[in-house]
Amino acid sequence: MDRYSVVLHSAAIACAIACSPAAAAPQAYVASDGADLNTRFDCRQIRPCRTFAAAISVVDAGGEIVAVDAADYGPVAINQSVSIIGNSQAAIVATSGTAITIAKAGVDVVLRGLDIRAVGGLTGISMTAGNSLAIEKCVISNFAFDGVSVGTPATVRIVESVMSGNSNGASITGGADLPGFFGPIIN
């Protein structure tokens, strides 16, 4: 191989490494002082993102997004299996539409320790496709329509969660299974 071929070969290898998509992270973080530009660093704990929407773009399917502190982390469309952990201090405030949308077949979603509330929002959690939804230790409040709306044959588990001030606490239809509701729903 001549020198020119070696340079081209080396450049091709470097491009293959640099041009490959970054591997997703098993865990991503959001913080009140985070920046969504930190997706280039996979929203690691030392460089968290600002919103759940940005963090979900870098986390592995089946991974987890963790809120570091108290803040509104914005509405999110969930398109893969994921756990979103709010540590009882993270909020998702919907000023219109839906706070959390789940519309991908086969996904398993866990929402834990979140304050999901409306300031003009219509629905708290809307699941139109998916395998399972677990809502644990969440507060879902003040939505014009449903706090939780599931219209697909998914397994739904609601544990130690409060739904308050919604027109309807939960609408579980479309063949969805609610094997054990561990309450309260207050409306």
Residue 90 has pLDDT above 90, yes or no: yes
**Helix, strand, coil percentages for the chain (3-state, nearest 5):** 15, 50, 35
Q: Return the percentage of the chain with pLDDT > 70, whole number.
A: 83
Distance CA 111, CA 113 (A): 7
10 versus 59: the higher-pLDDT residue is 59
pTM (predicted TM-score): 0.85
Beta bridge partners of residue 162, listed in sequence order = 139
Q: Spell out the domain ranges in the chain.
A: 25-182
Distance CA 111, CA 100 (A): 10
Distance CA 153, CA 84 (A): 22
| Coil, helix or strand at residue 129 | strand
In three state form, how does the secondary structure of 77-106 look?
EECCCEEEEEEEEEEEEECCCEEEEEECCC
Residue 4 has pLDDT above 50, yes or no: no
Let me know: does 128 contact 153? Beta carbons within 8 Å.
Answer: no
pLDDT for the residue 179 = 80
pLDDT for the residue 89 = 87
Rg (CA), the chain: 20
